[in-house]
Structures are given as structure tokens and as C-alpha cells.
Amino acid sequence: MNDPLTQWQQLLRRYEVSSVASAVTAPATQATPDDQPALLAALRQWLETHPQQRAHALAQLDLSQARSRSAYLDILAALFPAPESGTVASLRHWQAASLHRAELTDTRQLAALGLNDVPSWSQTVERFARLRAEYLEDSFSDIRNRCGAKAVFRIERALAGYLGKAAVFSSHPSQKPKFMFVPGLRGTGFLDPAWHPLVKPLEAAARDIQQEYDEAVAGGGHFEPFLGQGTDHDLSAYVSGRPGASWDALFFYRHGRRMDANHARFPKTSAVLDGHLLCRIDGQAPEICFSTLQAGSRIEPHHGVTNARVVVHIPLRVPPGCYLDVVGIGRHFWRECQAMVFDDTFEHAAENPSDMPRGILLMDSWHPDLSEAERAAFKCLVEAVTRIERLSLN
């Protein structure tokens, strides 16, 4: 049988952790149920030989029977980060542990971490809240310093609302962003397409894009569920209708990643997209696709994540009766090759009651009211949130 250090090194290699010294920052959730007891035992035995505060705390943890074992390790990593880890890793681990806060009830483990009473827990929560706020506020400080506080005031207010420091919300009852609300942007659901700089070039190329969509549907491209792979229950919460109802997509960009094969396969659409200013946020945007709502399908009411971006539709193949419904505001019936722009943070749904598929080019884009400085600041802010909270805006 291997000694604990060798065993731990093998586990490090399996879970792609760089070094034994960074062991405590390795996400314990990567371990399989069979490996986890061995991983924890090897980790404890190795770190007991190191006279560091985090090693001492870990030596006192007894996680063999504890629920949410990885959450206690995440707290340890947040409280006593390895020197090379920095603020981002500390905040990321604290956020991961917070997701299981209701399960952290083992007083022995909390005592080992120095969190076994209300004052110490409250102080730690407050400390990480301050650290998180400072990190996010600093994420666009260069832009604030270069352009002035007035230039990014709306982004400052959006962040204040996100952090719970101010009541920042829409006065419209149907507008409820899942992530962040930026105050002062025009629009009550639908936006005038003439406001948006992308509409004119997209409409000018609409027939070429339509031709490539037809080629994709005929077998030239790979469509997948727009919402990804999930259980039938997960998907039915978003898509309903007749048997076989579905919402499918062929992506040009997915979570900000360029799908090169699809760009190569459909070069006319690609040229239009890459020739204009897109909403680029690392790991998040743009999100652009050929979107097909199959016959007899309905997309159930839902809200988007932030009004800093809007959604542009270029309808490509639209059977009679297909529409987008912005709840409490009205319905828009798509017309082929005529752009439609809306703010998806308003509750909305869509339906194809026909016997034919409905196809559109769907893309997110910056809200046209945002200045260049605001777009840059919001990009920096969202990327900072993503680094510490594993955020997904789609």
C-alpha cells in the first residue's frame, strides 16, 4: 500500500491539481465517492506534518461522517489560503461553501475552523462580504479613474443593487433580471429596432443568412437543445407543447466561445457577425445561434439575466401564428427578415402553434444606451463576478 504522500500525489495527478503545496485549494468535489475518504485521509496526514495554521485546523477536522465534507474544506481554503492563491481563490472557496451553508451544522468541525459561535461566524461572514464588495468595486477602477465616476455611475448603481447596498430595481412589475439591473436604460419590453446599430447590417444580409439557415436545417449543421442536455423535467419547465416539442440551436457563439466549425460552414452569416461590435464578456457572451422552435412548441415564461444586454431576432423562416409574448405588454408576430429587438429581463414567452419549424437568428448584444465606458466597466465587473462565483449568464 502506498504511503500517504504518494497516495496524495496520485490523487493530485488524477484531479489535475498542480502541487501538493496547493492541496487545500483543490476542489474536494472533484473526488469520486470511492476516492474521497482516501483523499481526505491522505490530505490530513500529509498536512499534519506542516506547522501551518491551516494544517493544524485540518488536522482537527474529522470529516469521515460529516455532511458536505467538501464545504468544510472550502471554508478552510478560504480562511487560510495558500500564498499563491490570492483573493480570487479565497472568495471562490467561500462562495462554494456558502452554497451549503444550511448543512454546516457539525459543531466539532466548525470549532476546528474557529467558527463554533455566533460572533465568530458573523464576523467571518462580514469579512468576506467586505472582501467581495471591495474586489468587485475594484474590478473597473481603471475605467473609473480614466473616464471619471460620472461615466460609470449607472454601473456603480447596478453593483450597489447586486451587493444589496441599495434598492436598485425596475419600476415595471414584469422586469426582473435574474442577475443585475442597470438603471436608466430605455425600453419597456420591446425596443425600436432603429435604435440598435446592428439591425441595419443584419437586415441587409438577412436573405444570405436565411439561405444558410435553410442549408443548416437541410442537414448541413448540427443543432442541439438550446438549454443543453438535462432531464425531461428540467426541460419541460422551459419548453412545452405537443409530443416532440423542442427548442434547438446551432451556435456561432456559446458562452462567449466562438464555434469555429459553424463559422466555417456558414461563412456569410459569420462575416456579418464578426464584422460588427458584439457583446464580448469572457466566459459569458456573446450568445448567437440559429434558433429553431419546432412545430407545436412553446417556450414557457421566463426572465433574462441583465438589461445591460438586449436580444436581437432576425426571423428567417416563420410559419403563420408564431409570436413572442412579453407578458403584460403585448405580442410580436415575427415577419421574415424584419428585425425585432427586446429586453429579455421582462417576463416573456414564445410559441409556434403551426405544423412547421420556426427559425430565427438569435443574438444578445449591448443595450444601445450604454456608453463605451459603461460597456467596458460592465464587462470587467461580470468577469470579476464569474471568477469568484462560477457565474453563468445563460
Amino acid at 29: T
209 shares a domain with 96: no
Q: Using omega within 30 degrees of 0 as the cis cutoff, is the peptide bond preceding 173 cis?
A: no
With a cut of 70, list the residues of the chain below it in pLDDT: 1-69, 81-85, 229-235, 391-394
Q: What is the pLDDT of residues 274-315, one digit of tens each?
A: 888 899 999 999 999 999 999 999 999 999 999 999 999 999
206 shares a domain with 304: yes
Cβ-Cβ contacts under 8 Å for 44 (sequence gap 6 or more): 58, 59, 61
Alpha carbon separation from 83 to 78, 141, 219, 294 (Å, rounded): 12, 25, 53, 53
Among residues 199, 140, 168, which one has the least CA distance to residue 371?
140
200 shares a domain with 85: no
CA–centroid distance for 310 within its chain:
16
Whole-prediction pTM value?
0.84
Could you tell me the residue range of the domain that residue 262 belongs to?
Answer: 190-389
Predicted local distance difference test score (pLDDT) of residue 286: 96
- For residue 355, tell me if it sits in a domain: yes
349 shares a domain with 214: yes
Q: Tell me if 247 sits within 8 A of 299, measured CB to CB.
A: yes
242 shares a domain with 355: yes
195 shares a domain with 132: no
Last residue of a domain, one of 99, 120, 137: 137
Predicted local distance difference test score (pLDDT) of residue 235: 67
Angle, alpha carbons 87-91-96 (nearest 5°): 150
- Four-point Cα dihedral 28, 30, 34, 40, nearest 10: -20
- For residue 147, tell me if it sits in a domain: no
Among residues 260, 285, 275, 268, which one has the least CA distance to residue 363?
285
Question: How many domains, in total, are found in the chain?
Answer: 2
Predicted local distance difference test score (pLDDT) of residue 22: 46
Q: Tell me if 317 sits within 8 A of 336, measured CB to CB.
A: yes
Q: What is the pLDDT of residues 52-86, one digit of tens each?
A: 555 555 556 655 555 666 777 778 778 776 655 67
194 shares a domain with 99: no
- For residue 157, tell me if it sits in a domain: no
194 shares a domain with 112: no
Predicted local distance difference test score (pLDDT) of residue 74: 79
Among residues 89, 338, 115, which one has the least CA distance to residue 206?
338
Grid coordinates given for 343 = 429586453
CA–centroid distance for 111 within its chain:
34
**CA-CA distance, 53 to 56, in Å (whole number)?**
5
Question: Count of alpha carbons within 13 Å of 269, Cβ hemisphere only?
Answer: 30
228 shares a domain with 106: no
194 shares a domain with 128: no
**CA-CA distance, 251 to 34, in Å (whole number)?**
37
Residue 55: phi and psi, rounded to 5, are -65, -40
196 shares a domain with 112: no
Last residue of a domain, one of 137, 171, 203: 137
Domain CATH number, residue 256: 2.60.120.330
Alpha carbon separation from 279 to 97, 140, 284, 288, 388 (Å, rounded): 32, 17, 9, 10, 21
198 shares a domain with 286: yes
